[in-house]
Structure formats: structure tokens, C-alpha cells
Chain A
């Protein structure tokens, strides 16, 4: 993994199978986290963890469920389609009829995928005035210099490339067909007739499509592959829908065995029989043009017909459309983000981010004051350039390292945080972890000026720090440093020995060496974060007014007023890699 140390990932949907029930339990107002969930230490090395760890900025938050939401627990709805190249907002109706490709002049290079440009054909001499020649444009790749002239394609106009290309393609296909027929006549083969009937690939596709359509509709009137909405009006489809929602036992009894369908038999039904003539042609061409004339797998996958064998036959690919999507909580269906439908706008109509709702954890080595941010690989000041850098990639097994874990509070209320870590990290590299102060408060995210005014009073023990000089004396049970809306605590980590045993005592066998892969040298610490805060119920004021107006009729609603809310989640801190193998 290319991720640079140190990093923090947030876990969501750890236990996918039971997450739905978990969510429901939590959302039913009592905010206590599921006990079972807490007892089990989250193991970042488990194969499942790959699918539940995210950087904080990728996560959303559902206010109703009071939970972090990840791609596995939100659903997506397409708000708009657009072309990434011409930034045109493509209407939904057009996408339905024309498919997810830009219908304007956007094409990608069949060789390297770079966007192609329409260029005027520059005549080598001034003899031909531009108006005299009809074809005077071509598609060119600014990256690999591929040109549509390489495959003999020129355009008369610089607009309407799609229509011009389609015309050229049809012309070319009929030309190819003719050539094949001529060749077939010359060859002494007995299936001349079949070859003469050989349709183009596009014909073949439409033949096959209509064959399946007919077969499906005749086999069972209500076919599962059809999405025709008019079918939902018919009684059989209603029965089918009922079957879908019926309990499994009922469903199994009712579901009839599908009648096996016949496959396509002839070219008129869309079958492409193996043709010795075509194969001979291909082989002859390969022998003549060599390896370089063959298209790569990646290039073929870009093509409309993925069987395109030769570079010479690769066709410019229409640019694929991208989408902007709204996201909904999968549990309560509340909308979590909704972007503006216009591509020109980067605004969101609704956007509830996890980073605005849960504290941000960041970790770094205590001795490394000036390690550059992984995303900003620059030296910020001259002192930073010369200061010793902490080598996260080079942790020594068995040697304790002090890290500073900082929590930033995005909320407008102060939070009480409890951190939980396993004493020994799970996995082969068993590292020992001690959080010196697992319970502390983090101030509210109030005005920045408050901090500036109170800067003299912020508790700071920075003076003790001597970068590069062995471990500092950090007191257990006390926070290291505290600011407006952040608190730092010291975490002591003793990286384990790769392979489990200290090298000096038990010599490792070659077999054991092999068992260790690179991932086993990474020190990752699972941290359970639980925080609580008091908040004013947003409806409290409204309720108060109601009570005044209606008097005794509305008596008491205990949920109003100040409440305590508790939120809990797992995170994984990647603190470095053990060296020396």
C-alpha cells in the first residue's frame, strides 16, 4: 500500500452481517453502543477490514441514526450525468436512449486513452486552397501522437464527429464484407454460402438481441430480464412481485423451474460461426505485421467490440460519462449529501460530513516536530529542513516510541472522550500499546479568537520536549497539551518483532521468514473512540413556547432540554513499519 505514515482510518460497518440490527438498536434513542461490538477488538488485519476502513473525509454522518455512514451503509442516486471532457450536462432521457457515452465531439485515443483533439489538416503546400478539399480535419492524440489518419479517417467538418464516424464505419464494414466475399470466392471452400451471408458486427448484435427478446417473451411471458414498466400492469407480473416479497419458504414452493431456452443457431439469429477464412486472414496478417500490430487487453476493453485484434482496427472511443450522485442513509433513508445538478457548480445542497460530527484523530511521533505532511512534501522552514526527521518506515522492534495522539473536536460543545486500545495489537506483529491518558476532555469548537485571547492560559508542557533526546517524561493520566478544540495525549508503542520472537533468542527458520509478508511489518493500532457531550435539543425552544401557549395540556416531555449524547466508533492508526528484515 502506498499510504504514507502516519495515517488514521475510521472503521464503519465492521460487522456487516449484523450492522443493520446494530443501527436499529442505536437509533432507538438509547445511545449506548452495542456491548458485543465493544468487547470484540477490531482487527485491522482481518480480510474484512479492507472493506470497512476509510479516511475521515470520505465518510458521511446520519444525524437521525447518530452514526458514521460509509459506502456500505448509504445508497446512491444519480443526480446528473455529465461528460468529463466537454463538461456538458447530459439529460437523463438522452442517457437512456444513447447510452453513457458523450454524443458530442469527445473521443479518447484508442491507443493511450488521452482525450483526442480535432485538428485541421495542414496541407504541405500552399497549392491547395482550404476550400477546395472537402476532408480537412482529423482526430489527433496530443499524448502519443496517434492520429485518425493512421486508420485512414478524415473529416469534412470539425463538428458532428460522431455522425461522420458512424458513416465512415458503415462504409468500411460493407467494404470489408465485400473483400471477404471476394476472398471466399477464390478459396476453394464449400461453405461459400454461409460466408456470403456474413453480416457486420452491428447487424449480428441486433440479430442476437431480437433473437433473445423473442425467445424470452415466448418462453415465459413475464421474463425476469425485461424492465419494461408496462409489464407491471399485467396480472402475471403482480404474482411475480408478490413472490419476490413473500417469505422464502412460500417463494421456493411457488417458483416454477424455468424452461430451458434454445441458443442462437444461425447468423440470422446472431450466431457468429467460426470462419476458417477469417482466421486464415488474421493469421496471415499477424505473421506479416508482427507482435506490435496486435492490440493490448486494455485497448480492447475500450473498444465497442472487444475482439478487435489489430491496432489498425482500433476505433476512437467515445468518452464515457460521469455522474454526480446523492447519498442516502440505508437505514433511515434520510438524505446525507446532495450535490448541485449542474457540473459547473461544486456546491452541495445538503452535505452532512463525518468530519463535522466526530473528532478527528491524528498521530505523529512525539520527537518529530517538523515531519512534512505527506501531502505537502516541502520543507516549511529552514529549521525544519535541518531538524532530525522521524523515520516512520524504520521502527526498531522492542524499542519504545512515544507518539502524540491529537483529537480535534468539530462540535460546538465540549466532548468527553474515552479511548480504548488492546494492550497488544492483533496480528503477527504483536506491538504493545499504552495510552497514557485514555480519558480526557476536548474543548468546544468555538470562535478562533477565543484561543488567541486565551493563548497565555493554555496548558502547555512543550518546554519539556527535546527533539531527538530519548523518551521524555510523560505523566500517566495527564494530557500532554491542550488547545481551544484539541487535546493531545501521549501513546507509548513498543513495536513487536516480525515473526513473533526476538531474533536473538529463537532463530527464525526460512519457512517462518517466508510466511511474513510486507503487511506484517506495519504497526497498526486499533483505537476505540467513545465520546459524549451535552446538547440542547433543537426543538426545546419550540416546545417551551408550545407549553406556554397551551398550558397544562402539554405536560412533560423528558427528552427535551439538555441531553447527553454518546457516539462510539473504531479507528486504526498506522504509526509506521518495523525495519530490519
Chain B
């Protein structure tokens, strides 16, 4: 393995040595997840710990949590959403589900991205946007802050709007392995893609 390629963690996450990760303690990865080179994970931008009833401080809240078989392509920036609340700037957690593909150079500040979401390259997902499961976001889409995207749609444009519906079979058909064809499809299981990435 060459030095700039992935290091594999105990839970099977593949993390590029060229990824820029801050606040590692506040980031959880579900396992078998890929973080490619030049990805920026801002784990340092977390919600402030609250004082518990017994007077002690709670643990530092999780800034970014990513599920299993999710691929964050090179050049992406994951910056937890933040807003001005009562005169101070506060950050909130960001949650990314399982089997999510994020294309290269996309900037994420969503509050949550559910499972089986396919995000194209060079998108911008604004603060506190919520992407429901089974959504395809076309390359170059700009999702406004706070936008809620319903499940089963194709999203595109600047600003993003629903441009179509996904076929009933979306995410299916990735069962055949071999024959020189990839075993992963948009919105389907990304286990094989994660396995293939070296």
C-alpha cells in the first residue's frame, strides 16, 4: 500500500492519509466506509457540551456521524451545519446514513442524509438541509439551506428543485458480480464498491 492511500481501521473503514480530519474524537464512522483523499471532515465544529443535572459536563457531542458502506469521494468537505442562535454561532450534528455515495468536490452541511442517497459531483448541500432516503442529486446541484427533500425523487438545478422521480427499480440490479461489470448501482448496496476501492 502506498503511503497516500487508505489506511484501514479496525472496523474496516478506508481512510485516505491525505484526508484532512479535525476533531477526530467527535466523528463516528459506521465501518466499511470510505473517506478518499483531500476530503475535509470538520469534527471540530460540534455542538457545545451541556452541563448535566448533577453539575458535570456531558461528553463532547458527535459532530459528524457516517453510516456503513458510504463513500465520500475526494475533495469533499463535510462541515456540520451552524446558525446564529441567541447572538452566538452554534453548530449542530450532521448525520449521513448507509450506502450513500457522495461524488467528488461536493460540500455538505446537511443536518441529515438518509440511506441510499446518490449525490453527484460538485454539489453544495446547504446548512440543515434534510435528504430523505432513495434520492438522486444530479451533479452541480445547489440545495438551499433548510430544504427538505422527499424520498424517491431526482433533484437538480441551482437552486435545487425536484426534476423527476426515480424508477421503481432504482438501486436494484446490482446483484451480478463479475463479467467485468461493476456490481454496484446508483442507490443500491455499495458493499462491493467499498471492497473494490484500494
Residue positions of A touching B, CB distance < 8 A: 54-60, 82, 84-87, 109, 112-115, 117, 141-144, 322, 324, 327, 337, 343, 346, 348, 351, 353-356, 360, 362, 364, 369, 373, 375-378, 380-382, 404, 406, 408, 410, 445, 448, 451, 481, 483-488
Contact = CB atoms under 8 A, between A and B. Distances in A.
A443 B132 CA distance: 37
A372 to B, nearest CB: 9
8 contacts: A60-B168, A87-B148, A113-B161, A351-B168, A378-B73, A378-B197, A380-B197, A483-B176
Given A59-B167, A375-B118, A483-B179, 10 more contacts: A57-B170, A58-B169, A115-B146, A353-B172, A355-B173, A404-B180, A406-B180, A451-B178, A481-B178, A483-B177
A406 B181 contact: yes
Interface of B: 2, 5, 36, 71, 73-74, 101, 103-104, 118, 121, 126, 132-134, 142, 144-153, 159-162, 167-173, 175-182, 184-186, 193, 196-198
Given A143-B144, A322-B162, A410-B175, A364 B180 contact: yes
Contacts, number: 155
Given A343-B151, A483-B178, A117 B172 contact: no
A362 B181 contact: yes
Q: Is the interface of B mostly helix, strand, loop or mixed?
A: loop
B132 to A, nearest CB: 8
B144 A380 contact: no
A382 B17 CA distance: 14
A390 to B, nearest CB: 12
Contacts of A337: 168
Nearest to A407: B179
A109 B126 CA distance: 16
Contact of B197 (A360, A375, A381, A406): A381
Nearest to A485: B176
A55 B162 contact: no
Nearest to A486: B179
A84 B153 contact: yes
B144 A115 contact: yes
Contact of B176 (A59, A113, A373, A408): A408
Given A364-B180, A375-B186, A356 B167 contact: no
A87 B150 contact: yes
Given A378-B104, A380-B198, A451 B147 contact: no
Give the one of B36, B159, B176 with max A CB within 10 A. B176
A324 B152 CA distance: 10
B70 to A, nearest CB: 13
Give the one of A356, A375, A484, A488 with max B CB within 10 A. A375
B196 A381 contact: yes
B14 to A, nearest CB: 11
Give the one of A84, A364, A381 with max B CB within 10 A. A84
A45 to B, nearest CB: 24
Contacts of A57: 167-173, 185
Nearest to A112: B159
Contacts of A483: 176-179
Given A355-B173, A406-B181, A445-B175, A142 B5 contact: no
A360 B71 contact: no
A353 B145 contact: no
A373 B184 contact: yes
B18 to A, nearest CB: 13
B74 A378 contact: yes
A416 B198 CA distance: 37
